[in-house]
């Protein structure tokens, strides 16, 4: 098992060894510039050719600073400027702006890699899926955990019965948002931009999506409690949220998320025979802990960080765009997370469990 775990960073999904996807990056916050851009530059199958921002000036300046050929404004993008200079877009704007850029990209026949959560609401996420399907452009949602080698190993172990029958999942994702970004007016605290809320949309989604991916099962009902006490969180329901999910086959999951708490990320799957744990789970340096009977193995994953994780994600996306294999975390996959998050908010508001189709 030790040996198998050490064959860790193999790309079991890879089908394409050559070719290049040229990206336009849309929404130039710190994540896009400091993590996504260098990740693409280090990737095998991608390069950044265009930056898109609010104004041509800002985009041109950032392009210059980051050694990218071209910078254009949002309006220019929508008008099709430089559209022969990129093959795909990466959308990293606040949630409620995703749709408009994806719509333009679909009209321009560009492949789309859109950050999670897909959009601010289920309705807008549905529209996104429909637009991309009508235009027949690939749409992937940027669930970087799914191409993290630790998560992929965990998924194979679970499918091979390492934990026996899965019994329960624990997911946790918390961070002190106001220490990280000391601005009470940031978009993550504005429901017009973030959507249903902030802690589940931005953090809880990692536990939910990674559990769906690891278990190969979908939740059938959810319940949740949410509360906001800090004044910066006055406009959102979920400064903190606790949720309870029933998945197919009576697998149970519990999770907590908070944008106003000590940082911790943790995912644990307990089965009848064993346990698999990711901790830290969601910040790139993901460690895998496996126990069964009296045996325990830990695989540290120090060489990985968020940038390296994004590199895997971009190469997976490029592999799918250049080849003809299906995208796993596609628009309909992301849409399901939106429905789950909407149901969690509905449950917290109504004070009762909500069934999912």
Looking at beta carbons only, is 41 or 225 nearer to its own copies? 225
C-alpha dihedral sign at 154, 158, 163, 169: positive
Position 183 contacts its own copies (CB under 8 A): no
Please state the closest distance from residue 159 (CB atom) to its own copies, in A.
17
**Binders of its own copies among 111-150, rule CB under 8 A?**
none
Looking at beta carbons only, is 159 or 355 nearer to its own copies? 355
Looking at beta carbons only, is 43 or 243 nearer to its own copies? 243
DSSP string, 166-192: EEEEEEEEEEEHHHHS--TT-GGG-HH
Position 204 contacts its own copies (CB under 8 A): no
CA angle 19, 20, 22 (to 5 degrees): 160
Position 352 contacts its own copies (CB under 8 A): yes
Please state the closest distance from residue 19 (CB atom) to its own copies, in A.
43
For its own copies, how many residues bind (rule: CB under 8 A)?
A: 43
> Residue 90: which H helix or E strand, with range?
strand 88-91
Position 31 contacts its own copies (CB under 8 A): no
Looking at beta carbons only, is 113 or 241 nearer to its own copies? 241
Site map (CB under 8 A) of its own copies, residues 232-271, x = contact:
--------xxxxx-x---x-xxxxx-x-xxx-x---x-xx
Q: Work out which of 12, 18, 229, 303 binds its own copies, going by CB under 8 A.
A: 229
Q: Work out which of 32, 174, 194, 207 binds its own copies, going by CB under 8 A.
A: 174
Position 168 contacts its own copies (CB under 8 A): yes
CA angle 185, 187, 192 (to 5 degrees): 110
Angle between helices 205-215 and 149-159 (to 10 degrees): 40
Position 198 contacts its own copies (CB under 8 A): no
Position 346 contacts its own copies (CB under 8 A): no
| Helix/strand/coil for 263 | strand
Site map (CB under 8 A) of its own copies, residues 270-289, x = contact:
xxxxxx--------------
CA distance 291 to 270: 9
CA-nearest of 281, 290, 222, 284 to 252 is 222
CA-nearest of 107, 105, 89, 103 to 23 is 89
Please state the closest distance from residue 340 (CB atom) to its own copies, in A.
16
> What is the CB-side half-sphere exposure of residue 121 using CA atoms within 13 A?
7
C-alpha dihedral sign at 325, 331, 332, 336: positive
CA angle 221, 222, 227 (to 5 degrees): 170
Please state the closest distance from residue 352 (CB atom) to its own copies, in A.
5
Please state the closest distance from residue 272 (CB atom) to its own copies, in A.
6
Looking at beta carbons only, is 210 or 270 nearer to its own copies? 270
Q: Work out which of 93, 194, 223, 336 binds its own copies, going by CB under 8 A.
A: 223
| Inter-CA distances, 163 with 120, 154, 214, Å | 36, 10, 12
Helix, strand, coil distribution of the chain in percent, nearest 5: 40, 25, 35
Residues that bind its own copies (CB under 8 A): 163-165, 167-168, 170, 172, 174, 176, 223-225, 227, 229, 240-244, 246, 250, 252-256, 258, 260-262, 264, 268, 270-275, 291-292, 351-353
């Amino acid at each position: 098992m030790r040996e198998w775990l050490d064959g860790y960073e193999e790309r079991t999904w890879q089908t394409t060894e050559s070719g290049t996807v040229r990206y336009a990056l849309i929404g130039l916050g710190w994540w896009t510039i400091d993590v996504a851009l260098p990740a693409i530059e280090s990737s095998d199958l991608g390069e950044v050719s265009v930056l898109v921002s609010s104004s041509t000036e800002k985009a041109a300046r950032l392009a210059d600073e980051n050694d990218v050929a071209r910078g254009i404004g949002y309006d220019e993008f929508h008008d099709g400027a430089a559209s022969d200079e990129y093959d795909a877009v990466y959308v990293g704007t606040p949630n409620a702006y995703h749709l408009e850029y994806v719509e333009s990209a679909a009209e321009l026949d560009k492949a789309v890699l859109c950050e999670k959560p897909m959009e601010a609401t289920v309705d807008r996420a549905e529209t996104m899926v429909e637009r991309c399907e009508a235009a027949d452009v690939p749409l992937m949602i940027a669930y970087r955990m799914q191409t993290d080698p630790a998560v992929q190993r965990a998924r194979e172990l679970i499918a091979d019965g390492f934990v026996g029958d899965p019994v329960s999942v624990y997911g946790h994702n918390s961070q002190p948002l106001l220490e990280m970004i000391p601005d009470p007016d940031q978009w993550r605290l504005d429901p017009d931009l973030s959507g249903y809320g902030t802690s589940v949309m931005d953090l809880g989604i990692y536990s939910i999506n990674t559990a769906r991916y690891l278990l190969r099962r979908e939740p059938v009902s959810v319940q949740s409690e949410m509360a906001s006490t800090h004044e910066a969180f006055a406009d959102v329901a979920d400064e903190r949220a606790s949720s309870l999910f029933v998945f197919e086959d009576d697998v149970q999951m519990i999770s907590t998320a908070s944008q106003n708490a000590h940082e911790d990320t943790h995912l644990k799957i307990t089965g009848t025979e064993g346990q698999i744990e990711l901790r830290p789970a969601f910040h790139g340096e993901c460690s895998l802990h496996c126990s069964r009977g009296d045996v325990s193995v830990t695989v540290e994953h120090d060489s990985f960080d968020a940038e390296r994780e994004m590199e895997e994600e971009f190469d997976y996306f490029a592999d799918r765009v250049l080849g003809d294999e299906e995208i796993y975390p596609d628009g309909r996959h992301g849409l399901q997370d939106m429905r789950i998050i909407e149901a969690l908010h509905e449950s917290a508001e109504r004070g009762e469990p909500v069934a999912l189709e």
